[in-house]
Amino acid sequence: MEDTKQEATLEENFQKLDEVLKKLGTRDIALEEAFRYYQQGQDLALQCDRMIDRVEKNLQQINKDGEVSDFPEDLS
């Protein structure tokens, strides 16, 4: 059987992360459960960071002459 599980979109991961944050914000959560939610939030944040990095690497910019070039990686 082939694994056809698709990666969640950035928006879906942000929504899941928001749900985790809401759960962590409740006062009636057991410590063990809070740790599980914290780890889940860390994993989701890492996935979002990786997805954003992939998008940034594919960005291109159009200069004032209308030419397309790769977006500079170092913006500092």
Tell me the domain boundaries of the chain: 10-70
pLDDT-derived band at 59 (thresholds 50, 70, 90) equals confident
Predicted confidence band at 6 (pLDDT cuts at 50, 70, 90)? confident
The C-alpha angle 71, 14, 56, rounded to 5 degrees, equals 10
pLDDT value of position 65: 72
In tens, the pLDDT along 16-42 reads: 999 999 999 998 999 999 999 999 999
Q: How far apart are CA 32 and CA 12, in angstroms?
A: 25
pLDDT at 56: 76
- What's the confidence (pLDDT) of residue 46? 96
- Alpha carbon distance 48, 71 (integer Å): 20
